[in-house]
Structure 1
Amino acid sequence: MAKLEKMAQDAADAAIATLPGWSRQDEKWMQGSYRFSTYPAAIAFVDRVAEIAEAMNHHPFIAIDYKKVTLRLTTWHSGGLTELDMESARRYNETYETSTGERG
């Protein structure tokens, strides 16, 4: 499957199930949340997310709520979730694992 080809619902659900902290929001969106011990730690994570997003040319919607960061992903050109979204989420989770935080 091409990275930008829209995934079937069951394939997207199966892929999301392998991504701790991520869930489907509807047929087009997935969301992951990350909790940190301090506001600066949350902002540092967002900076790393921005670097990854720029390198992949695939940018999440980002909400910063004090020490909690929420990312939302979709692939606009495909009209839903793609392997690029799954790869982005995997990279964000890997980045989170190397930072100080608590899932949620």
Structure 2
Amino acid sequence: MSSRARLTEDEITAALAGLPQWTRDGDTIVRTADARDFPAAIRVVVAVAEQAEALDHHPDIDIRWRTLRFALSTHSAGGLTTLDLTLAARIDTALSAETA
């Protein structure tokens, strides 16, 4: 299966069990986290940007001081794909070094 193929409901449910910080919002998965401070939040964004470029898959990112909100969906597939789940795991890794 292509990494850009839309996942089934069962595949999404199983995958989200391994990503407990992420919640589903329709065809999007979302995570909000607080970094230690604003510079730490920016370091997370830079790390995520590098991972996003490597995957050629880019999240929606909202920064409010030290609070970060990430939203992932594959618009071309009309829903969630393996790319979203892969990037979610990489975002978790980036956050682990900088969260409060």
Shorter-normalised TM range? over 0.9
The answer as to whether partners of 2:29 and 2:71 remain within 8 angstroms in 1 is yes
Q: Secondary structure at the match of 1:6?
A: coil
Measured after TM superposition, the shift of residue 10 of structure 1 is 2.3
Query: What does the per-residue CA deviation read over 1:28-72, in whole Å, with 9 as the maximum and x for residues that have no partner?
Result: 111011211111100110111111111110000000011111100
Matched, 1:101 2:67: no
Matched, 1:56 2:55: yes
Give the match for residue 34 of structure 2. Answer: 35
TM-score w.r.t. length of structure 1: 0.90
Question: What is the aligned residue count?
Answer: 100
Measured after TM superposition, the shift of residue 89 of structure 1 is 0.3
Q: RMSD value over aligned CA atoms?
A: 1.1
Give the match for residue 91 of structure 2. Answer: 92
Query: What does the per-residue CA deviation read over 1:51-98, in whole Å, with 9 as the maximum and x for residues that have no partner?
Result: 11111100000000111111000011111000110000011111222x
Deviating 4+ runs (over 4 angstroms): none
Between the aligned partners of 1:95 and 1:43, the Cα distance in structure 2 is 11
The answer as to whether partners of 1:13 and 1:24 remain within 8 angstroms in 2 is no
The answer as to whether partners of 1:39 and 1:66 remain within 8 angstroms in 2 is yes
Q: Secondary structure at the match of 1:41?
A: helix
TM-score w.r.t. length of structure 2: 0.93
Unaligned runs of 5+ in 1: none
